[in-house]
Amino acid sequence: MSKYAGINNTQITSGQICKILFLFSLGSAALLLPTAVTSIAKQDAWISMLLAGPFNYLVLVPYLALMDRFPKLSLAQYAEKLLGAWLGKALVLGYIIFLLILSSLVLRNISDFLGLSVLPITPEWFINVSFMVVVIYGVMLGVETIARTGEILFSWSILVMILLVCALLSQFSVEYFEPLLYDGIMRPIKGAYPIIGFPIGEFVFMTMVLPQVREQDRPKLRRHLMGTALIITVTSTLLVVCLIGVMGVNETLRSPFAIYDMAKYINIEEILVRVEIMVAVVWIGTVFMKLSMCFYTLTVMTAQMLKLTTYRPLVLPYAFIILPLAVMTYRNAAHANEFAMGVWTVYSVTFGFLFPVLLLLVAILRKMSDDSDGSFPPLIPMTNRARAKQKGEGAPGEKESGSAMASSQGAEDGKEQERDAASQSQSGESGNPDNAEASAATNQPAPVGDSGSPQA
């Protein structure tokens, strides 16, 4: 692969962006969200998942409508066109802060999971740095490389979930779902509240990726995204149903990572045991996808706001900001739960849904649309000639031609000097005979003796 591959302008297919969306939604929400929803809706948590299902596609509607009006521009670019330079940059700055906090939260989620469940002795900073190195490398390669990685992770995620459900069917109990709707429909509705903010409100990263979808795939993009929203709803509901049916409400509430603990129940004839590490590996892959997309969106949005030619110089500085910020985001699990249940939903829905709807209304009222290309200028590998010119030197071919010109110029200068000397000698002979005789005497060669040496 060339070192210039996937740096600035790449194109992805509609299938790839749908897989990215699926893995993004599955990311950190797969292990954290079921416990939060179950704490509100109890055994009716699966109904909350069904109620939140339509919002998986509803939040994408303003993104797609804005893409129709600005097909090759991202949110950071058409915000300035719709709101003006200063107000648009202020809105983009708010999105940058939102994505910066989201990236640090995702990194903190993976460090908490690995530190509590898989690697309890490993320091938190080492987990954060190790995971961030891989994310930096992926973001440096570009969204096309991340999308191709997502295609591999998508297949493994589906396979592991199918194996997980099939292996736990023998331990499934319907009694854990009784009584149904014991407190009316209000509890499932309240249980859908954190789902709307986490992860549905975080889908705003799509506004930065949709312009990179290939032209020939855009007519079927809506249909594919609608199917992806349906798969997300079915998958999340199925996981919560298995969780309640196998562990029950009480065990689910006591587990911070319920899906991972549920995999510990798998025991097939004492042969297939301790398969929870498969769930951990898949979840690490989905969190990698979510953090990579958040980080990529953050750097690209900042580069477009600052009118840079590429986003790559911003990757490392932002990484050094996210690493300490991940440690400072919240103090403990109780603080994290309070933040997620009370604050984050309002924050994410504001940036993920309300502001895009506001931009869409402004575009409709002002009847604005723009087909201009907002992509970064392409990076072309520098040739030896261009690199030599940049350094103030000639290219190899130019050096040869320069030396030839220098030699020819030297020969011409020598001829001119001979002409001047001849003209001076002629003028000396005609003007002063004594000088002419002296010069002739000095020009005569010295006599040579028998031994071949000159005589004084």
Query: In CATH, what number is assigned to the domain containing residue 267?
Result: 1.20.1740.10
Tell me how many degrees the CA angle 123-127-131 measures, rounded to the nearest 5. Answer: 170
Q: Report helix, strand or coil for 155.
A: helix
Q: What is the model's pLDDT at position 308?
A: 93
At residue 11 the predicted structure's pLDDT band, cuts being 50, 70 and 90, is: confident
Which pairs with CB-CB distance under 8 Å and at least 24 residues apart come from 310-319? 310/7, 310/8, 310/376, 310/379, 311/8, 311/376, 312/7, 312/140, 315/136, 315/139, 315/140, 316/136, 318/100, 318/103, 319/132, 319/135, 319/136, 319/295
Q: What is the model's pLDDT at position 331?
A: 79
At residue 297 the predicted structure's pLDDT band, cuts being 50, 70 and 90, is: very high
390 within some domain:
no
- What mean pLDDT is predicted for residues 26-35? 84
385 within some domain:
no
Q: What is the model's pLDDT at position 414?
A: 55
Q: Is 28 a residue whose pLDDT tops 90?
A: no
Range of the domain at 91: 14-366
444 within some domain:
no
Residue appearing with tokens 């723009």: 370
433 within some domain:
no
Q: What are 41-75's pLDDT values in tens digits?
A: 999 999 999 999 999 999 999 999 999 999 999 99
How many distinct structural domains can be found in the chain? 1
C-alpha to C-alpha distance for 99 and 93, rounded to whole angstroms? 10
Average pLDDT, the chain: 83
Continuous segment of H or E residues that includes residue 268: strand 267-268
Q: What is the model's pLDDT at position 133?
A: 97
At residue 384 the predicted structure's pLDDT band, cuts being 50, 70 and 90, is: low
454 within some domain:
no
At residue 447 the predicted structure's pLDDT band, cuts being 50, 70 and 90, is: very low
At residue 402 the predicted structure's pLDDT band, cuts being 50, 70 and 90, is: very low
Q: What is the model's pLDDT at position 423?
A: 55
Q: Is 413 a residue whose pLDDT tops 70?
A: no
379 within some domain:
no
Q: 309 CB contacts (<8 Å, ≥6 apart)?
A: 8, 376, 377, 379
Q: Per mean pLDDT, which range of 22-26, 401-405, 424-428, 450-454 is the poorest?
A: 450-454
Continuous segment of H or E residues that includes residue 272: strand 272-273
Query: For every residue of 220-252, which 3-state class applies, written as one string?
Result: HHHHHHHHHHHHHHHHHHHHHHHHHHHHHHHHH
Continuous segment of H or E residues that includes residue 273: strand 272-273
Q: Is 420 a residue whose pLDDT tops 90?
A: no
- What mean pLDDT is predicted for residues 272-291? 90
428 within some domain:
no
Q: Is 2 a residue whose pLDDT tops 50?
A: no
Q: What is the model's pLDDT at position 386?
A: 56
408 within some domain:
no
Q: What are 191-246's pLDDT values in tens digits?
A: 999 999 989 999 999 999 999 999 999 999 999 999 999 999 999 999 999 999 99
C-alpha to C-alpha distance for 352 and 355, rounded to whole angstroms? 7
Q: Is 333 a residue whose pLDDT tops 90?
A: no
